[in-house]
A = this chain, B = another copy of it.
Amino acid sequence: MTWLDLPADHPFGLHNLPYGVFSTGGPDGERRVGVRVGDHVLDLAACAERAGMESAVVWRGGSLDAFLAEGRPAWTAARAWLQDHLSDDAARDCVEPNLVPVGEVTMHLPFTVADYVDFYASEHHATNVGRIFRPDSEPLTPNWKHLPIGYHGRAGTVVVSGTDVVRPTGQRRPPTQEAPVFGPSVRLDIEAELGFVVGGPATGLGRRVDLDDADDHLFGVVLLNDWSARDLQAWEYVPLGPFLGKSFATTVGPWVVTTDALRAARVPLPGQDPEPLPYLRGRDGADGGPGTAYGLDVHVEVEWNGTAVSRPEYRDMYWSPVQMLTHLTVNGATIRPGDLFGSGTISGADPGTRGSFLELSWSGQEPLTLDDGSQRSFLEDGDTVTLRATAPGPDGSVVGFGECTGTVRPAV
């Protein structure tokens, strides 16, 4: 397949080629845009300059920002150029000297997050949370099946995998009290999600993105952990939604897997009833194919201190990423390159596929037992959570997302 020594089943083969930002010589080294190839990272600007590409400048600057802004034609051209060069013996001279072993790099936040939105697209997650947070009401609110519910989060606290997460402090109200108490969160949780990275030129104010065009604005997908302090969230979130219970940290994986690499992972949605309003409908899939409003067959794994505690399946999600993007702009809101939106927690009907500890421990009533024998409902200081994911690629290949990991540090 390629002169690179890559086994056909490698999750970072030429069918994948996710983008990231790395440095060598530690975290303070110069930041460079790279693409993951097998167990190496290719320094893209250096390779493209050596190849005499004028457009190499788009990969200078230490982030994906300029490349994101270019849009679909440039992304497609770059992918084709990379696949050519990585399989053409004649291009060895510009590739080989610019490959860095992945063990020698430090990864950084791959792009400047413009606006960050988090959706709530799993029916099973929304139902579980409704049962736990609002036991006296219908678990799904009346709007839930008519629109992908979302809210804005804090872009400035999106951090890259490997960043320590300091336990947040704030107000919570113990169940038996009228007044809140102050202190470190005692119900620190995760949410296993995918994050969608928006690119292409900024849209104009008042212009909406049609669902059938939404894909042109989606550059790629990252693993995302929406750390959540459930006690802070429960006290603060009525009536204006989650705020400090979420804003302390959101971790994204270092590798942006392109939507091009995920073509073979498209699947039909599990089914939407009632049928959504026309602006949220895409073209039907021919011959049972996924259609414009597609789902994604991504398998996620949640590991807690080395124990795999859940295996969420992204194909169970009710709303499609293109429906989320379309909804986000239906009111005329602009999108900009670098916008990021999370899917919301990925949870399925099976308890072993729930994407938050709130659900896995049923609000602490059913603690989990880890491989070392310890019991957990929520995170303790020193705990490490790692998300991993794969998706089917073309011809039986596997697309890897890498890891999205973080360790909890004590409150300060």
Chain A: residues with CB nearer than 8 A to chain B? Answer: 114-115, 117, 120, 130, 133-134, 141-143, 146-147, 149-157, 159, 163, 166, 168-171, 173, 178-180, 182, 202, 205-208, 229, 232, 235-245, 247-249, 274, 277-279, 327-328, 330-336, 339, 409, 411-412
Contacts of A207 in B (CB 8 A): 412
Residues of B with C-beta under 8 A to A157: 205, 333-334
> In the complex, are the beta carbons of B331 and A156 less than 8 A apart?
no
CA distance A146 to B159 in the complex (A): 30
Residues of chain B within 8 A (CB-CB) of A334 are 156-157
Given contacts A169-B331, A237-B239, A332-B411, 20 further A-B contacts (CB under 8 A): A115-B155, A115-B156, A120-B240, A143-B171, A146-B171, A147-B180, A151-B242, A151-B243, A152-B154, A154-B333, A156-B202, A156-B336, A163-B205, A168-B331, A169-B208, A170-B330, A205-B248, A237-B241, A238-B239, A240-B242
A150 and B180 form a contact (CB under 8 A): no
A333 and B156 form a contact (CB under 8 A): yes
Number of copies of this chain in the oligomer?
2
A171 x B241 contact (CB < 8 A):
no
Q: Cβ of A114: which chain B residues have Cβ within 8 Å of it?
A: 155-156
Which of B146, B248, B330, B331 meets A333, CB within 8 Å?
B248
- Name the CB-closest residue of B to A242: B240
Known: A180-B143, A182-B278, A205-B159. A332 touches B248 (CB 8 A): yes
A277 to B171, CA, bound (A): 9
